[in-house]
Every structure is written in structure tokens, then in C-alpha cells.
């Protein structure tokens, strides 16, 4: 257990260091997220009342697409340089190692979106209680996007043009997260309770943390086999 924890920490530090060295690639999903949210009022309407109504859906759809955009490189570089084969041959549990990679992915993609979202919500005239709900749903939902998306990436990592297949695999699984998260923010904006939606997202996150690493490890073995 102690050696597996050290391997987890070492892989997490390695992925964060690699992300820091490729800051340009790191910024692309965040810029994508920013552009979708800021350009949406120009394409629809600058009317504040309308923006306030559609803001939860706009921000969450932008976060979902940005997360999907950032998934492609989750295992791709490791597959190309042979590090993925070393992970498969490692004596440490593969589920622990892939969980470290998913955590690193969330720290460099999901966490920046979580920090930027309140500023964008203010620009769309969202009320304060809705912004708090938005932050809560993103805190629960963005790790879910990374965990679910990693399963699709693991299944398509060996394919040359797996981006389209990845989208087809992952997007239907993202729909429940999108529905409950946007519903929670909309309900908070109307002054309604949102405990049920948050509990559902928390239950999904607990289930994904339990099962997704095992599924990712199995998918990688299938892809590399």
C-alpha cells in the first residue's frame, strides 16, 4: 500500500510537471471555455434578462465541451513514448496509477474552469445564489467529466483518429451530469432548494471514483492487448 501511494504521488507530480512544460497546450481548453461563454451573448442577445436565464446551460455546455476537448491527450503521449506499456507492466495496481493521471488532468483542466466560472457567471448577470450553486455543481461535476471521459480515452487510445469515436462514446454519458447540474443552478436562481440535485451529483461522483479507475485499467489492457 505504501509503495502504491508513492507511485501515485510520483505519477501525479510527473503529469503536473509535463503539463507545466507544455503550458500552451494546457491553455487551449481554458481559452475554448472562455470563448464559448463570452461569444454566446454576441450570437444570441445582449439582453440581461435573457442571459440570466440561459447562463447555467451556456456555462455548463462550455465546460463539458472544453473537458471533452482536453481529454484527447490524457493517455496519448504516454502511448506514443512507451510510458503506457511501462504502467501496464508495473507491479503497482493499474487502477491506482490511472487515478493519478485523471487527478492530474482535472487539476490542469477542470480546476481552472472552476475558478474562472464565477467571473463568467457575473458577466452573464447570474445572481449570487446561482453562482454559489454553479461553483458547487462544477466542483462535483468536473471530476465526473474527467473520470467518465478517461474511460472513453482508454478505449480509443490505440486508434489513429479516435477523436470522433471518443465523442460518440462519452457525450451520452455526460448528459445526466449536464441535466442535474444545470437544473440545480436554475433552481438556485429561482430560490428553490437544490439539495436533491447535489446529492445525485455527489452519488455519481462517489460511484465514478469507485468504479471508473477499474474500468479505465481494463480498457487500457484491451486497447494495448
| pLDDT tens-place string over residues 169-199 | 888 999 999 999 999 999 998 889 999 999 9
CA distance between the termini of the chain: 27
Determine the distance from the C-alpha atom of residue 155 to the mean position of all C-alpha atoms in its chain, rounded to a whole number: 17
The per-residue pLDDT for range 52-74, each reduced to its tens digit, is 888 888 999 999 999 888 887 78
Residue that is written with C-alpha cell 439539495 in the block: 195
List phi, psi (to 5°) of 204: -65, -40
Question: 33 pLDDT exceeds 70?
Answer: yes
Amino acid at each position: 500500500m505504501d509503495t502504491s501511494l508513492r507511485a501515485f504521488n510520483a505519477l501525479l507530480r510527473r503529469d503536473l510537471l509535463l503539463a507545466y512544460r507544455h503550458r500552451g497546450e494546457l491553455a487551449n481548453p481554458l481559452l475554448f471555455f472562455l470563448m464559448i461563454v463570452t461569444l454566446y451573448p454576441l450570437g444570441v442577445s445582449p439582453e440581461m434578462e435573457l442571459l440570466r436565464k440561459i447562463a447555467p446551460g451556456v456555462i455548463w455546455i462550455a465546460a463539458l465541451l472544453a473537458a471533452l476537448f482536453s481529454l484527447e491527450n490524457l493517455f496519448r503521449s504516454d502511448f506514443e513514448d512507451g510510458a503506457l506499456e511501462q504502467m501496464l507492466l508495473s507491479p503497482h495496481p493499474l487502477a491506482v496509477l490511472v487515478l493519478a493521471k485523471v487527478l492530474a488532468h482535472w487539476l490542469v483542466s477542470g480546476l481552472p474552469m472552476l475558478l474562472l466560472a464565477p467571473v463568467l457567471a457575473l458577466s452573464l448577470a447570474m445572481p449570487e445564489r446561482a453562482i454559489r450553486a454553479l461553483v458547487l455543481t462544477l466542483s462535483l461535476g468536473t471530476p465526473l467529466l474527467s473520470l467518465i471521459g478517461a474511460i472513453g480515452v482508454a478505449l480509443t487510445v490505440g486508434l489513429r483518429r479516435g477523436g470522433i469515436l471518443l465523442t460518440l462514446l462519452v457525450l451520452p454519458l455526460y448528459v445526466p451530469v449536464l441535466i442535474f447540474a444545470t437544473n440545480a443552478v436554475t433552481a438556485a436562481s429561482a430560490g428553490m432548494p437544490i439539495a436533491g440535485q447535489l446529492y445525485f451529483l455527489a452519488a455519481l461522483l462517489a460511484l465514478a471514483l469507485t468504479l471508473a479507475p477499474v474500468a479505465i485499467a481494463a480498457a487500457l489492457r484491451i486497447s494495448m492487448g
